[in-house]
Amino acid sequence: MTIWPILHYDDTDRALRFLLALGFAEEVVARDDEGDVVHAELSWPGGGRLVFGGTKHVESMHGRMRAGDNAVYVVTDDVDTVHDRARAAGATVLEPPQHARFGSGAQSLICTVEDPEGNLWTFGTYR
């Protein structure tokens, strides 16, 4: 199964720089006539993709989405490295690397950061 979360940002260039700094890889980036990102697809080294666009583009089904109201969990085997990258990229660290138990009882090493527009990103070892 493959899932692609979709996020929207007010400042798409800043979002692209931030996500690439975390370790995502650019696959597709389409821009409008002003140079703003209309649609981007980024891949995660461990698998999966993320799609994002700008809040100024309201003509699509996802055009109602606003920045900052999203939370994404991303699987990684190296939480500490992602934490360090996020901090260096200017993320607000909400939870430094720590062991956590989820509601299911599963344990994971996790960290949670907030991106520049308020979206929450939890990186963890739980698959």
Tell whether domain 6-124 is in CATH 3.10.180.10. yes
Residue 18 confidence (pLDDT): 96
Pair 122, 109: CB distance under 8 Å? no
Query: What pLDDT band is residue 63 in, cutting at 50, 70 and 90?
Result: low
Q: Examine the pLDDT at 1 and tell me if it is beyond 50.
A: no
- Where do the domains of the chain lie? 6-124
**Range 78-95 average pLDDT:** 96
The H or E element spanning position 40 is strand 37-43
**CA dist., res. 61 & res. 35, Å (int):** 22
